[in-house]
Amino acid sequence: MKIPIINSKRQYETIAQKAEAAVLDVMRSGSYILGANNKEFEKEICDYLDVKHAVTLNSGTDALHLALRALDIGEGDEVISTAFTFVATSESIGIVGAKPVFVDIDPDTFNIDAAKIEAAITPKTKAIIPVHLYGQPCDMDVIIDIAKRHNLFVIEDACQAIGAEYKGKKVGTIGDIGCFSFYPTKNLGTMGDGGLLTTNSQYIKDRVVALRNHGGAIRYHHDEIGVNSRLDEIQAAILRVKLPYVDSWNKARREHAAYYNELFSKCDLIETPKELDNTYCVYHQYTVKIPNRDKVHQMLADKGIGAMIYYPIPLHLQKVHAKYNFKEGMLPITEKNTKLVLSLPMFAEITKEEQQEVAKTLIECVEKANSAVAV
Ligand SMILES: *Cc1c(COP(=O)(O)O)cnc(C)c1O
């Protein structure tokens, strides 16, 4: 049985009629960019997240980069974040000319270790970007407290965590700014690129509305260098069809995670994900830790199980940041976990039989790979 890490087609089939009708409506309307669907979606997602303002954008990367622009963070500034994430997080810091300062992770949650943030703060620090990786909320109380005491902004990278909650609040609405991605494989994915920035600040909202459309709030009046980061009406229409399903999809992911945990409980070599107290994790990825990961990954691939490594190289060791001379060994927990993690097939529509097959195959491969080493 071949089991992919995600099956977007299966989800499409559940909403096909509504999505096709919505797209056809857009095509017939003659309004293709930043029209009624964008406006309505911005309102609907504000209600869903319980936040004052939402600005649709072209991508999650743009949300991160325009968040920094809106806060006037750039050359000479430092931004604290994690190296255990997708490159877009630190890339956005680089786009505005600021320096990423990486703090090590908590090995249980894979998120930035809030207890280590304070030691990384310098007079140049302007913001913290916590990433709710794999759909698991960061320890926001601690992060917000540090930010308040040191007068720093908090930009939440919630690209993998729409619908996740920390103490009853949706992530992406707790800091000054929340950034979301609607890349097709995200928990709320469209059928192209898309992103969103959320904030409770009218000032930040107005800045981002201008920045996304060539730096001017009034047409043909340009106050600053902006970008073209407008969302297509077709994408907004698809997102409006899908938004009402996000909670049920996230709930299904949580049930699948619990089932995997149960299936793996008989194998001591597989470390299953942990959740922080008082959080609602939405399992964008279901990620286990295993010894001999690379060998097991290859064995799974040979058997048609689509597991993935998120992410194989931590950001401080990526060539893109070579000019900062970050050294191997600088973030020991990040580096160690990079070698252990493996994300397994996870999507709302996965069946129990498929999960059983994944679990059976993984247990076999892990046991085989590790007994070979022992000899
Ligand atoms: C996907 C993702 C992004 C970037 O989103 P795009 O829409 O692909 O630009 C940023 N950060 C994280 C953690 C992501 O997973």
257 and 232 within one domain: no
162 and 84 within one domain: yes
Ligand 1 site residues (CB inside 6 A) read: 59-61, 85-86, 88-89, 131, 157, 159-160, 181, 183, 193, 195
269 and 180 within one domain: no
pTM: 0.97
Protein residue closest via CA to atom 2 of ligand 1? 159
Cα separation of 54 and 256, whole Å? 30
The predicted model gives 346-353 an average pLDDT of 98
Structural contact between residues 276 and 372, judged by C-beta atoms closer than 8 angstroms = no
Sorting pLDDT into bands at 50, 70 and 90, what band is 173?
A: very high
Residue 178 C-alpha to ligand 1 middle, in angstroms? Answer: 12
323 and 195 within one domain: no
Structural contact between residues 213 and 230, judged by C-beta atoms closer than 8 angstroms = yes
Question: Which atom of ligand 1 is the closest one to the Cα of 193?
Answer: 7
Residue 47's domain is classified under what CATH number? Answer: 3.40.640.10
Per-residue confidence (pLDDT) for residue 374, from 0 to 100: 54
Q: Which helix (H) or strand (E) holds 62?
A: helix 60-70
Q: Choose the final residue of a domain: 176, 211, 244.
A: 244
What are the residues whose beta carbons fall under 8 Å from the beta carbon of 321, sequence distance 6 or more? 90, 94, 100, 315
Q: Percent of the chain beyond pLDDT 90?
A: 97
302 and 214 within one domain: no
36 and 135 within one domain: yes
Could you read off the pLDDT of 229-259 as tens digits, one per residue?
Answer: 999 999 999 999 999 999 999 999 999 999 9
Pocket of ligand 1, candidates 6, 81, 89: which has the most ligand atoms within 8 Å of its Cβ, to mutate? 89
Protein residue closest via CA to atom 14 of ligand 1? 159
Q: Choose the final residue of a domain: 244, 264, 293.
A: 244
Structural contact between residues 136 and 281, judged by C-beta atoms closer than 8 angstroms = yes
The answer as to whether 3 is a domain residue is no
The predicted model gives 174-197 an average pLDDT of 98
The answer on pLDDT for 375 being more than 60 is no
What is the tally of structural domains in the chain? 2
Per-residue confidence (pLDDT) for residue 287, from 0 to 100: 98
Q: Which two tokens stand for residue 136?
A: 């698991």
Q: Are strands 286-289 and 177-181 parallel, antiparallel or unpaired?
A: unpaired
Q: Which helix (H) or strand (E) holds 33?
A: none
Sorting pLDDT into bands at 50, 70 and 90, what band is 218?
A: confident
User: Mapping DSSP to helix (H, G, I), strand (E, B) and coil, where does residue 72 land?
Assistant: coil
The answer as to whether 1 is a domain residue is no
Q: Which domain holds residue 195?
A: 8-103+111-244
Per-residue confidence (pLDDT) for residue 114, from 0 to 100: 97
213 and 164 within one domain: yes
154 and 65 within one domain: yes
The answer on pLDDT for 185 being more than 80 is yes
Residue 90 C-alpha to ligand 1 middle, in angstroms? Answer: 11
What are the residues whose beta carbons fall under 8 Å from the beta carbon of 143, sequence distance 6 or more? 112, 114, 117, 128, 130, 154, 175
CA distances for 205 relative to 16, 128, 157, 221, angstroms:
33, 19, 17, 18
Cα separation of 79 and 94, whole Å? 10
The three-state (H, E, C) secondary structure of 331-343, written as one string: CHHHHHHHCCEEE
The answer on pLDDT for 219 being more than 90 is no
The answer on pLDDT for 373 being more than 60 is no
233 and 200 within one domain: yes
Q: Choose the final residue of a domain: 244, 260, 276.
A: 244
29 and 77 within one domain: yes
Could you read off the pLDDT of 104-151 as tens digits, one per residue?
Answer: 999 999 999 999 999 999 999 999 999 999 999 999 999 999 999 999
Pocket of ligand 1, candidates 57, 58, 61, 191: which has the most ligand atoms within 8 Å of its Cβ, to mutate? 61
Per-residue confidence (pLDDT) for residue 100, from 0 to 100: 98
Residue 333's domain is classified under what CATH number? Answer: 3.90.1150.10
The answer as to whether 322 is a domain residue is yes
200 and 83 within one domain: yes
The answer as to whether 92 is a domain residue is yes
96 and 181 within one domain: yes
Cα separation of 122 and 56, whole Å? 33
Q: Are strands 169-170 and 53-57 parallel, antiparallel or unpaired?
A: unpaired
Residue 189 C-alpha to ligand 1 middle, in angstroms? Answer: 11
